[in-house]
Each structure stands twice: as C-alpha cells, then as structure tokens.
C-alpha cells in the first residue's frame, strides 16, 4: 500500500485517533513522527523553540541531558535544573528555578527517565509552570502505554514518546502531541524550524488537512500499520487495566528481587523500568550475557554514573507478564550462583 493510497490515509487517521486516546487528549495535532523516539524530542524542541529563546531543562539522567543538547543546537539558552540521577524534581525545585529564570519559554522534563527508572510526577509542576506562562514539554518515551499520561488533564503543551517501549510496537515512530497553545506558538514563529523533515507547520497540512492531504515526505507505511495494530491491542485491553497490569507485575518483581537482596535505586520507581543495584560480587556483563544466551532475556546495563552499578529491567507493554517476571527471577537466581 502506497503512502498516498486513500486506504493508507484512513489507516493514518485511525492511528492518530487512537494515539489521542492513549495520550488522553483532544489535541488535534497528535501524530507519529516518521522516525524513532529521539526524533520526537527533536521535533518538539525544533518546532517550539527559536534561536535566542530561553528554556529550563530538568536533568536527572541521560534523556534530560540530551534535551539540553537538542535545545542548544536550536540556539536556545538553556538553564539546567539538576538533581542526582535516580531522584525526581519537587514542585519547590521547579518553582525556585522559574523564579530565577522567569523569561523561560518552556520547561522540559522527563516523565519516565529510562536511564534511572525515576518516575517524575507532573501535575503540580505543570500548574506552577502555567501560572508563570511557561509551557510544559514532556518526554514520555518509557511511560506511554504503561503509566497514565494525561496530556489534557496535566496541561502538557508538547509531548513525545517511542513505539518500542510500552506501546509494544517495533521501533521506528515517535508519537507526539501538541496543545492548541503550542500550535499557536509554532504558527507565530519568526523563523522556519531548522529541520525540514520535522517541520510541524508543514506536517500539520498532511496530518490534519481534511479536504486535501499536502504531500510532505513518504511516511513509513508499514510502521504506521504496526502502530495501528499495537494501539488497537492497547485500547482493547483498556488503559486502566493495562496500567494496573504494569503495576501488579512491578510489585511482583520488586517483591522477588527483595527476597534476593536486590534493591531499587530510585525512590519513585517506574513500573515499566526497574533500575536496581547490582549485588556485590556479581559480574555485570557475565550475568547479562548469560540471561540473554540461556534465557533469551535482555536486561539493560547501567548508563552514565550507573554503569557497572545498575541493571535496568523492563516490564513494558506486552512483556509485563507474570510469566516473564517469574522466569526472570528464576533466571537471576541461576545466573547469580
């Protein structure tokens, strides 16, 4: 099926509609960027920001650090609000930073920091930002489809995710959503977004152009087809049931790890990404290789300051099952012997 085939346009419209359901939003401008998750970050930043703008970016892991880099490449003056890896930001942290930099156009924050497993509460922060007229940009790569992500209720202005985490679709697309307010800001830009491929002012004529679809780029048709199916599966399960399943399996894993004396690093842990301390004496690489070779289970290595110190165990989407949790626990016992 070609990307201009009328049947494809229908498929894409349905996909965007299901994405709105999963993002819990009415935002018309909700669509999958034609590239993996990091392109979603770049799409949001490149479209919202112009050279000379100021932004506050909350940094407590790899993905906050990246957002700083992506912002700076757009000519943005970035104020980093930092905390230790594994910790989250309090409303007070954010309020203080906003007081210091009241001219910031956006505050960028990671909802689910894949590098640390920290689960950032957003609702209070959003309120504080909006009271000061600052837009909220959220990285939901590892939460969408596994944790509630309430774009409208939490007043998120721009958000991106990836397909290969809790949506249980192959990697290749990055679902984004922009609030009407963000769209207004984009439409009143003084300069063109620096990326043609990610330029929302053109993409919206494709994704929202009801009467006539303006050709922009060739969409990855098969990937959109896969996402369509993944979203249908999610909505069939139901969001609440899905979130409850992620929580249940997280608790089961946590209890099992506790029995093995393996503790969590973040105080506020995600259900979807379980970042735990490698037990004393365990050979990091050997255990991971053995899990992969013998059990076909891949767990993540620690990144940055957690390299060699942490394992990151995903319980995402389709894979968050009791059978997987129990197999991993048994496999860990075996590999740690």
Please give the residue ranges that form the binding site for its own copies (CB under 8 A).
2-5, 34-39, 41-42, 66, 69-70, 72-74, 162, 164, 170-172, 192-197, 217-223, 226, 292, 298
> Least distance in Å: CB of 216 to its own copies?
8
Nearest residue to 111 via CA among 102, 120, 103: 120
Taking the least distance from each CB to its own copies, the nearer of 239 and 301 is: 301
> Least distance in Å: CB of 22 to its own copies?
19
> Least distance in Å: CB of 177 to its own copies?
19
Taking the least distance from each CB to its own copies, the nearer of 37 and 64 is: 37
> Least distance in Å: CB of 8 to its own copies?
10
**How many Å apart are CA 114 and CA 117, to the nearest integer?**
5
**Phi, psi (deg, nearest 5) at residue 269:** -90, 145
Pairing state between β 174-178 and 158-160: antiparallel
CB count within 10 Å of CB 47 equals 27
> Least distance in Å: CB of 196 to its own copies?
5
> Least distance in Å: CB of 319 to its own copies?
11
Nearest residue to 138 via CA among 152, 164, 156: 156
Taking the least distance from each CB to its own copies, the nearer of 90 and 222 is: 222
Taking the least distance from each CB to its own copies, the nearer of 125 and 158 is: 158
**Phi, psi (deg, nearest 5) at residue 179:** -70, 160
Over the Cα atoms of the chain, what is R_g? 20
Burial class (CB in 10 A: 0-12, 13-18, 19+), 53: middle
Taking the least distance from each CB to its own copies, the nearer of 17 and 293 is: 293
Do 17 and 138 touch, CB atoms closer than 8 A?
Answer: no
> Least distance in Å: CB of 199 to its own copies?
8
Taking the least distance from each CB to its own copies, the nearer of 122 and 314 is: 314
Give the up-direction half-sphere exposure of residue 318: CA atoms within 13 A in the CB hemisphere.
12
> Least distance in Å: CB of 274 to its own copies?
16
Do 54 and 202 touch, CB atoms closer than 8 A?
Answer: no
Taking the least distance from each CB to its own copies, the nearer of 160 and 264 is: 160
**Phi, psi (deg, nearest 5) at residue 312:** -120, 110
Taking the least distance from each CB to its own copies, the nearer of 208 and 221 is: 221
Nearest residue to 147 via CA among 181, 180, 121: 121
Nearest residue to 166 via CA among 112, 208, 218: 112
């Amino acid at each position: 099926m070609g990307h201009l085939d009328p049947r494809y346009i229908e498929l894409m419209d349905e996909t965007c509609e299901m994405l709105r359901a999963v993002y819990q939003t009415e935002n018309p401008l909700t669509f999958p960027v034609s590239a993996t998750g990091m392109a979603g970050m770049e799409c949001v930043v490149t479209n919202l920001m112009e050279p000379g703008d100021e932004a506050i970016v909350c940094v407590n892991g790899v993905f906050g650090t990246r957002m700083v880099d992506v912002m700076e490449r757009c000519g943005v003056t970035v104020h980093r609000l930092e905390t230790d890896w594994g910790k989250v930001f309090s409303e007070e942290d954010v309020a203080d930073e906003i007081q210091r930099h009241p001219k910031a156009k956006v505050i960028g924050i990671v909802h689910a920091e894949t590098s640390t497993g920290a689960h950032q509460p957003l609702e209070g922060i959003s309120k504080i930002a909006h009271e000061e007229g600052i837009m909220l940009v959220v990285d939901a790569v590892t939460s969408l489809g596994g944790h509630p992500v309430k774009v409208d209720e939490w007043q998120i202005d721009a958000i991106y995710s990836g397909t290969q985490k809790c949506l249980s679709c192959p990697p290749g697309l990055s679902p984004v959503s922009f609030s009407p307010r963000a769209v207004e800001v984009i439409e009143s830009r003084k300069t063109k977004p620096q990326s043609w491929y990610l330029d929302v002012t053109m993409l919206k004529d494709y994704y929202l152009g009801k009467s006539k679809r303006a050709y922009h780029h060739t969409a990855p048709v098969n990937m959109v087809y896969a996402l369509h199916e993944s979203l249908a599966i999610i909505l069939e399960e139901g969001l609440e049931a899905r979130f409850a399943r992620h929580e249940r399996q997280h608790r089961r894993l946590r209890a099992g790890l506790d029995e093995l004396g393996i503790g969590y690093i973040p105080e506020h842990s995600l259900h979807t990404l379980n970042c735990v301390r490698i037990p004393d004496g365990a050979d990091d690489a050997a255990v991971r290789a053995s899990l992969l070779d013998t059990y076909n289970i891949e767990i993540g290595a620690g990144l940055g300051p957690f390299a060699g110190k942490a394992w990151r165990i995903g319980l995402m989407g389709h894979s968050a099952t009791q059978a997987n949790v129990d197999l991993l626990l048994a496999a860990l016992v075996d590999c740690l012997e």
